[in-house]
Every structure is written in C-alpha cells, then in structure tokens.
Amino acid sequence: MKVSIIGVGDMGRDIAVHVRDKGHDVIAYDISEERRSDVAKNGIKVVESLAEAVAKAEVHLVIVATDEQSETVTREILESGPAGSTVVILATNSPKTMQVLAAECEDKGLGFVDAPVVFGRQGAKEGQLGSLCGGDDKQVAKITPVLESYSKAVHHVGPVGSGQVAKACNNMLHWAACVANFEVLSLAKRYGIDAQQMRETLIECPGTNGTLVRWDDTRFTWHEKDMDLALDLAQDGGLPLPLFGQVDQLVKHLDATKVKNLLYGPETEYLGQNIKPLSKEEGGLN
C-alpha cells in the first residue's frame, strides 16, 4: 500500500521504518529539515513538500502533537490527497476535532480514522504500539494492515472520535498510576525498604500495573495536556470524576528526576517534603 507519513520525529521516524519494513511504499514529510534528513538516513523516501508526499498515497499517517497541527495537516492533505485515500490521526487530540475533520474529509471524498497509539517511544521503537481506532468498519479494515506494521494490537473501539476517548481512558489510568506508584514507594522508602526492590516485588503482586513495569521510561511530557483533555470530556459529559481532579493536581508535582531519585537515590521530594528513610529513633525499621 502507498503510505504517506506526515511528521517524522521520534515516534514518526520509527513508525515509518516499520511500515516500510512490512513492504509498504512509504514517502515521508516533516516541516523540519533536520528530521527529514534523519529519517532519510534510515532509507525512507523523503520529499520537500506535504503536497508531494500525499499526492499518490492511499493512506496518510499524521503524526503530530496538537489539535491545531492535526487540523492544519489534514486540511493541507485535502488540497492534494487523492479521493478515496484515508487520513489517519495518530496524535492524542479532542474527539470533537476528529469529528470536524472527518466531516471535512467526507465532503472531499476521503476517509478518516482517529488511531492514537499507546506504549510510547519504546513501543514505537520496537514496533509494539497499540492502536485505538475510531471510524467506520470499512475505513478501519482498509488501514489495519498499515497499523499492524507498528502495532502489537489494533482495536476498533467505535465511530470517529472513539479512539481519542479510549486513549484518554488509558492516559487517565497511566497518570493515576504514576501518582499511586510514587506515593506507595515513598511509604516503602520512608520505612527503610529499598524503593526499587519494592517496585520489583510489587510487579509480581496483584497491585502491579503497566506503568510500574515501564516506569523508568515515563517522561512526564504530556500529563497536563492529557489530563486537561480527560477532564474536559468528563465536564462535557456531565460526569463527576473527583479522583482524577486530584490526579490532575498531584501529577504536576512529579517528574522523571524525582522518580529516579525515589528508586535509586538516597532521597527525593514530594509536595515540599523530603522523602528519606526514618531513623530507628524516628520510628524507622532499620
């Protein structure tokens, strides 16, 4: 299948390589000359304009970050992409944005699927992402062979916008787990138990979670965007989610350095307090 890939940063570059390696005809474009050069070093055909990239493609993978970027790229595709081709949004965006863009694509004779991914940079590198798809049966079936190039699982969860709701649900659990993991291991550290050893133990206990397993790779890049989207969805749907209101506030106090200090250092910081083992005189166990 002829596939255009728009956006070849860390995720897009690896996705492009996997799609090419599965036998698809890939052509890539990015506004960054440096990124175009980087992906070209991996043997991917690169062009100098979006219009040239999409002109003959059957599937267009849009791998950008924000709603505004997805809107801009999709509307540029509508100017040059052939009728019958399909726009696929991999970014984490609003379901409303997806519905607007899907309608615009339909008016021009193009298909549309929102297919945000989970498992992040490591999943992209390994070709082991999960794709959460929103769209009609025909369009999802058409693009599934392309998505399978970089995904260990492709889930069709509902109509356009559903992929974004599913991604929001996953993100909510992920960021809640980040807060829970940090507080739990802080308790262990406080009483003199090595936090990394406790983590390894908990991974084999019923309380484990995927975030705990992959916690070394958590970068805390998108937590504000993710939680804003999730809470906006809850508000628009008239749904009270008091736990996630707290998660939204608490996750702002975490970062990758604090996690590494908790797991591997003598102390870390949380909510203005140093987290370090208690002495025996203070009630510690050691």
User: Which residues are annotated as catalytic?
Assistant: 167
Closest CA relative to residue 142, chosen from 114, 100, 113, 119: 113
Looking up tokens 């138990």 gives: 193
Q: Which amino acid, 32?
A: S
Residues near 274 by beta carbon (within 8 Å), at least 6 away in sequence: 267, 268
Q: Name 88's bridge partners.
A: 61, 113
Residues 6+ apart with CB under 8 A from 217: 120, 121, 122
Burial class (CB in 10 A: 0-12, 13-18, 19+), 139: buried
- Sign of the CA dihedral running 219, 220, 225, 231: positive
DSSP letters along 79-102, please? HHSPTT-EEEE-S---HHHHHHHH
* Residue 142 falls in which region: left (phi positive, over 0), alpha (psi -120 to 50) or beta: alpha
Rounded Cα–Cα distance for residues 188 and 190 (Å):
5
User: Mutual orientation of helices 162-190 and 95-107 as an angle, nearest 10°?
Assistant: 160
HSE-CB for 137 with a 13 A CA cutoff: 0
b/e sequence 60-94, b meaning 16+ C-beta within 10 Å: bbbbbbebebbbebbebbbebbeeebbbbbbbbbb
